[in-house]
């Protein structure tokens, strides 16, 4: 009987050790995941705060755009925007615009005073008003729809600024799924390509408070065509027990693997074979913008606005992450300008990190100095193309 007793005892000890090890690993995984939730990598996880849903709904109070999400109709013409919806510019309070530009926060000019964004600095260098219709967090899709709506835009030149992350935003409908705040304002429509490759608009879902709670609990039931749905190939991983398994699923995410290689997390979205179809969609939206400009008697130009991660990718791989977009637009004879090379030439021996608001961490939007360089490069290019004097 002694050998059997000894064997049972050893098995019990091994089982206890395994259980203890798993418990320790589970505890460590829980701590790690909650650290991720509070970091800049929080977009990798889906952990909606259902208890705050009512508060978020009441706070939003219906102040959203029925298709684009934000800004609301009232906010779109309130300071710091003027009555046309453009950014206020004290240098040209009564002027007619010589050009207009649409895009996201890299167009608007976050992280610097209102008068010091690159668009405003460019206006002063040219001596005419460039109407800035940028909106923070916008995708190329929202910028294009904003342009289509804005029939009061009488500028002879229309620019579309594209920040590389926009490719990911263009296949998303609920911004909380890609790391933005949890709010009903972050719900928007989106474009898809039909069987003939034409743009088709999916309307923003009309939801009440119960629908918003359903959106948080089960996003697929409200926005089934959102590419970034939780627990899909590129969507966030739902934070749930067992946490060790959640950590393993995060570790296997393609976006994380891409980021570890030194490329931006959205770099794969510029592959022609990416399942999101983001590249083809972004090309179609940009082409439609320029075509709409021509239809209204304007010259259209697509302008790339590289972030620090694009320069890092360029240094490592020999080209920026968004190069396929530039190449496909050029192949379709869509006027496009990538200022990256000219910016590096202007910097000389200085680091590209000096372009941004926080050079020490090489992060943020263009700082005052960087905005000045972007303005210089844009001025030279616009004059070369005969778009401004």
pLDDT in tens, 179-211: 999 999 999 999 999 999 999 999 999 999 999
- CATH number of the domain within which 94 lies: 3.40.50.1110
pLDDT at 4: 64
- Beta-carbon contacts of 357 under 8 Å, excluding residues fewer than 6 positions away, are 111, 112, 363, 364, 365, 366, 367, 370
Mean pLDDT, range 137-146, rounded to an integer? 98
Mean pLDDT, range 73-92, rounded to an integer? 96
What is the chain's mean pLDDT, rounded? 93
126, 157 Cβ separation under 8 angstroms: no
Mean pLDDT, range 133-162, rounded to an integer? 97
Q: Is residue 295 part of a domain?
A: yes
Q: What's the pLDDT tens digit per position in 90-141?
A: 999 888 999 999 999 999 999 999 999 999 999 999 999 999 999 999 999 9
For residues 280 and 38, the model is more confident at 280
pLDDT at 5: 67
pLDDT at 94: 81
Mean pLDDT, range 69-86, rounded to an integer? 96
Mean pLDDT, range 158-179, rounded to an integer? 97
Q: Is residue 23 part of a domain?
A: no
For residues 299 and 249, the model is more confident at 299
Query: Tokens standing for 28?
Result: 């460590």
Mean pLDDT, range 216-235, rounded to an integer? 97
Q: Is residue 68 part of a domain?
A: yes
Lowest mean pLDDT among 172-176, 265-269, 321-325: 265-269
Q: Give the number of other CB atoms < 10 A from CB of residue 270.
A: 24
Task: Say whether pLDDT at 287 is over 80.
Answer: yes
For residues 256 and 152, the model is more confident at 152
Q: Is residue 65 part of a domain?
A: yes
pLDDT at 7: 78
pLDDT at 3: 60
Q: Is residue 292 part of a domain?
A: yes
- Beta-carbon contacts of 355 under 8 Å, excluding residues fewer than 6 positions away, are 308, 343, 347, 366, 367, 369, 370, 373, 374
Mean pLDDT, range 246-269, rounded to an integer? 87
Q: Is residue 242 part of a domain?
A: no
The position carrying tokens 């931006």 is 264
Task: Say whether pLDDT at 175 is over 70.
Answer: yes
pLDDT at 156: 97
| Domain around 190 | 51-235+261-384
Q: Choose among 40, 266, 311, 4: nearest CA to 139.
A: 266
Query: Tokens standing for 290?
Result: 């320029």
Mean pLDDT, range 338-342, rounded to an integer? 98
Percent of the chain at pLDDT exceeding 90: 80
Q: Tell whether omega for the bond before 268 is within 30 degrees of 0, i.e. cis.
A: no
* CA dihedral (261, 265, 271, 276) positive or negative: positive
Percent of the chain at pLDDT exceeding 70: 99
pLDDT at 29: 79
Q: Is residue 205 part of a domain?
A: yes
pLDDT band at 38 (very low <50, low <70, confident <90, very high): confident
pLDDT at 203: 97
Mean pLDDT, range 301-315, rounded to an integer? 96
Q: Is residue 240 part of a domain?
A: no
Counted domains in the chain? 1
- Beta-carbon contacts of 141 under 8 Å, excluding residues fewer than 6 positions away, are 169, 170, 189, 190, 191, 285
Task: Say whether pLDDT at 1 is over 60.
Answer: no
157, 100 Cβ separation under 8 angstroms: yes
Mean pLDDT, range 304-324, rounded to an integer? 95
The pTM of the full predicted model, rounded to 2 decimals, is 0.93
């Amino acid at each position: 009987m002694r050998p059997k007793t000894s064997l049972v005892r050893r098995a019990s000890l091994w089982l206890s050790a395994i259980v203890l090890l798993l418990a320790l690993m589970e505890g460590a995984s829980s701590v790690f995941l909650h650290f991720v939730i509070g970091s800049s990598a929080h977009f990798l996880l889906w952990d909606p705060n259902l208890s705050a849903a009512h508060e978020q709904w009441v706070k939003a109070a219906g102040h959203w755009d029925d298709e684009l999400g934000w800004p609301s109709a009232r906010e779109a013409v309130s300071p710091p925007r003027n009555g046309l919806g453009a950014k206020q510019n004290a240098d040209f309070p009564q002027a007619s615009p010589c050009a207009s530009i649409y895009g996201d926060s890299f167009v608007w000019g976050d992280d610097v005073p209102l008068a010091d964004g690159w668009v405003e600095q460019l206006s002063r260098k040219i001596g005419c008003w460039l109407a800035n219709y940028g909106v923070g967090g916008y995708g190329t899709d929202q910028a294009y729809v904003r342009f289509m709506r804005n029939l009061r835009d009488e500028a002879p030149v229309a620019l579309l600024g594209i920040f590389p992350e926009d490719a990911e935003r263009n296949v998303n409908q609920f911004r909380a799924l890609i790391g933005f705040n949890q709010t009903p304002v972050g719900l928007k429509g989106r474009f898809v390509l039909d069987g003939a490759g034409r743009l088709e608009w999916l309307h923003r879902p009309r939801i009440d408070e119960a629908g918003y709670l359903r959106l948080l609990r089960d996003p697929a039931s409200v926005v089934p065509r959102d590419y970034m749905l939780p627990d899909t190939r590129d969507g966030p991983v739902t934070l749930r027990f067992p946490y060790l398994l959640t950590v393993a699923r995060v570790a296997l995410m393609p976006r994380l693997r891409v980021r570890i290689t030194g490329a931006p997390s959205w770099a794969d979205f510029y592959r022609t074979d990416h399942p999101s179809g983001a590249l083809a969609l972004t090309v179609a939206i940009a082409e439609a913008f320029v075509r709409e400009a021509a239809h209204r008697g304007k010259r259209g130009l697509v302008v790339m606005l590289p972030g620090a991660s694009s320069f890092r990718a360029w240094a490592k791989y020999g080209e920026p992450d968004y190069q396929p977009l530039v190449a496909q637009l050029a192949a379709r004879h869509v006027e496009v300008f990538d200022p990256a090379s000219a910016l590096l030439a202007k910097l000389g021996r200085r680091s590209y990190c000096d372009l941004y608001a926080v050079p020490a961490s090489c992060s943020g939007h263009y700082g005052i100095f960087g905005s000045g360089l972007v303005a210089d490069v844009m001025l030279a290019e616009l004059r070369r193309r005969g778009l401004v004097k």
